[in-house]
Amino acid sequence: MVLTVVFGLIVLRLVAQLVLNRLNAAEVRRSGRMPPPSIKAIMDEATHARSVGYTLARLRLGSIEEVFEAVVLAAVLGAGVLSWLYAPFDGWAPGGAWNGALYLLAVSALLSIPGLPFEWWSQFRLEQRFGFNQSTPRLWLVDKLKGLGLLLLIGFPLIWALLSLLRWLHETWWIWGFALLFSFQLLMLVLYPKLILPLFNKLAPLEDGELRTRLLDLADHAGFRAKSIYVMDGSKRSAHSNAFFTGFGRFRRIVLYDTLIAQLPPEELSAVLAHEIGHYKRGHVPKMLAVAAVLQLAGFALIAWLAESAWFNPAFGFRAGALAPTFLLFGLLSGLVTFWFSPVLNLVSRRHEYEADAFASEMVGGPQPMVAALRRLAQKNLSNLTPHPLYSGFHYSHPTTVERERALLAAVNPPAGG
């Protein structure tokens, strides 16, 4: 019965994903044939045609990958591969934390292998075709090896500690497990830009000059005290541009991709910086951390209940009470359920983007710099400006450029009677 339900959820999610992809592809083709006026204001005909081609190519690859992943997951669960792999690890020290941690790491590494050809094709075929790829096969391989090394160096002690809590604290282990993992995640918000990110990219303070002075003055005006703004060499892997906010308190940092600095003039960069500061000033980081904490605590409670149940682990060939397999199964299967709730989280995220845009508009004296920046970034990144509403609800954490521009302009020119 358990396997039947799981296979049903796998099929149900896959069907939903493929339907959403088809709806989105149809919407994109329609806009390609008859671009609405809102699109013509953002992209010229040639750029929009490339955007349509890029979006359709990504949808085709995504559909193939989703079918492949569903087949692999169903085969691994149905054939008992996971329990077969668990037997030798558990045989070393039944119920031990260290061998359970090794098992989880080994299976995670093995399950990532089937997806590597899709990642490679996406980077060196699809992204290359549309002029975005800046990486090399050697750099791609080195990144994978570094990621595997970090998985062992950081993942093993963390997983060992989580599994050991059951032996140390018994029934209340899951409460302390949540506290341990959430504390670790908060610590990583501080350590990631200092210790992890430099392993993959170079971070350097923005050089002295007019741009640095302008951006730091803006940060001061916005009430965001920053010693420096950092530039990341994102161009070593991709021509896509981005900016992000990391850390909290006095450890907060704003990082701009070098591609972003190359693509935007100073007034538009100021708007992008003000947008990132807006996330901080509007309290989006602690709000999302609070949501994540609630969901994580609920997840630990569910894992504890499933591990002790007489039906969950045995359905997949594991003994009841074995915590490491429950962690693995939860990680593999939780997405079958959380997929259906992604529109809710995306709705919250999009609301935060609108609020950060509004803050940016206030800080730079009007919506035009932010509108111009959004238009330029949409052109440079070949953004899909006309996703199907259902697809957007499930996959877009940010509103489209058209939606953001409309909201920015409506704030200064409200409709009659509004």
Locus of tokens 């990219």: 201
- Residues 314, 321: Cα–Cα separation, whole Å: 10
Q: What is the DSSP string of 59-75?
A: HHHHHHHHHHHHHHHHH
Of 224, 186, 243, whose CA–CA distance to 398 is shortest?
A: 243
Task: For residue 390, count other CB atoms closer than 10 A to its CB.
Answer: 15
Q: Is 276 a catalytic residue?
A: yes
Would you call 134 helix, strand, or coil by DSSP? coil
Strand order in the sheet with 230-232: 203-205, 230-232, 253-257, 243-246
Q: How far is CA 317 from the centre of its chain?
A: 32
Q: Are strands 203-205 and 253-257 parallel, antiparallel or unpaired?
A: unpaired
> Half-sphere exposure (CA, 13 Å, Cβ side) for 112?
13
**328 close to 82: Cβ distance less than 8 angstroms:** yes
Q: Is 208 a catalytic residue?
A: no
- Residues 129, 122: Cα–Cα separation, whole Å: 10
Q: Are strands 230-232 and 253-257 parallel, antiparallel or unpaired?
A: parallel
Catalytic residue among 276, 353, 355, 405: 276
Which value, in Å, is the radius of gyration of the alpha carbons in the chain? Answer: 24
Q: 26-40 as b/e, with b when 16 or more CB fall inside 10 Å?
A: ebbeebbeebeebbe
**Residue 254, both tokens:** 């704003």
- Residues 219, 214: Cα–Cα separation, whole Å: 9
Catalytic residue among 69, 90, 357, 405: 357
Instruction: Kindly list the catalytic residues.
Output: 276, 357
